[in-house]
Chains A and B, each alone.
Chain A
Amino acid sequence: MTRPLPDLHNHEFAEHWAGLSQGRVRIRRCRSCGRHAWPPRPTCRACFSLDHEWVDVEPHGTLYSWTVVGHATLPGFESPYAVVLVELTAPVGVRLLGSYDGELADLKIGQPLTARPVQVTDEVHLLSWSHPETSKNPDDTDGAVATDDHDTEVGEYQ
Chain B
Amino acid sequence: MASDNAIIRGIGQTDYSRQSGRTTTLLAVQAALAAAVDAGLDVRDLDGVVGFPHSVAAEDLVSNLGLRALRFSSTVAMGGASSVAAVGQAALAVESGRADHVLVVRARNGNSGGRIHQRPSQLPAQHFRTQLEHPYGWNTAAQRYAMMARRYDYEHGLDRQVLAEIALAARSHANRNPAAMMHERELTMEKYLAGRMIADPYTLYDCCLETDGACAVIVSRHAGPAPSVRVLAVAEGRPETPDDLTNRPDLLRIGLEPAAREVWECTGLGPTDMDAAMIYDCFTFEVLHQLEAAGFAPDGLGSELVASGGIRLGGQLPVNTHGGLLSEGHLSGLNHVLEAVRQLRADAPGRQVEGARHIAVTGWGDLGDGSMTVLAGQGGAR
Contacts and interface: CB of A to CB of B under 8 A. Distances in A.
Contacts of A143: none
Given A39-B244, A99-B137, A66 B150 contact: yes
A136 B154 CA distance: 28
Given A12-B127, A13-B131, A157-B160, A126 B136 contact: yes
Interface in B83-126: 117, 125
B133 A10 contact: no
A48 to B, nearest CB: 15
A72 B139 CA distance: 9
Contacts, number: 112
Interface in B134-189: 134-140, 142-143, 146-148, 150-151, 153-154, 160
Contacts of A155: 200
Contacts of A68: 197, 199-200
A13 B132 contact: yes
Interface in A89-136: 93-99, 109-110, 124, 126-127
B137 A83 contact: yes
Nearest to B207: A71
A70 B134 contact: no
| Size class of the contact patch on chain A | 35 or more
Contacts of B64: none
A26 to B, nearest CB: 13
Given A12-B127, A13-B132, A83-B143, A70 B199 contact: yes
Interface residues of B, number: 39
A20 to B, nearest CB: 11
Interface centre among A6, A13, A97 (most CB of B within 10 A): A97
A71 B135 contact: no
Interface string B244-283: 1011010100000000000000000000000000000000
Contact of A97 (B136, B142, B251): B136
* Central interface residue in A39, A67, A85, A98, by most chain B CB within 10 Å: A67
A72 B137 contact: yes
A7 interface: yes
Majority SS at the chain A contact face: loop
A88 to B, nearest CB: 10
A21 interface: no
B12 interface: no
Interface of A: 3-7, 10, 12-13, 38-39, 41, 45, 64-74, 77, 79-81, 83, 85, 93-99, 109-110, 124, 126-127, 147, 154-155, 157-158
Interface of B: 117, 125, 127-128, 130-140, 142-143, 146-148, 150-151, 153-154, 160, 196-201, 203, 241, 243-244, 246-247, 249, 251
29 contacts: A4-B134, A6-B131, A6-B132, A6-B135, A10-B127, A10-B131, A12-B127, A13-B131, A38-B247, A65-B251, A66-B147, A67-B138, A67-B143, A68-B199, A69-B137, A69-B143, A70-B196, A70-B198, A71-B197, A74-B139, A93-B247, A95-B246, A96-B246, A97-B246, A99-B136, A154-B197, A155-B200, A157-B160, A158-B153
Given A69-B199, A70-B200, 7 more contacts: A4-B135, A68-B200, A70-B199, A73-B117, A83-B137, A99-B136, A126-B136
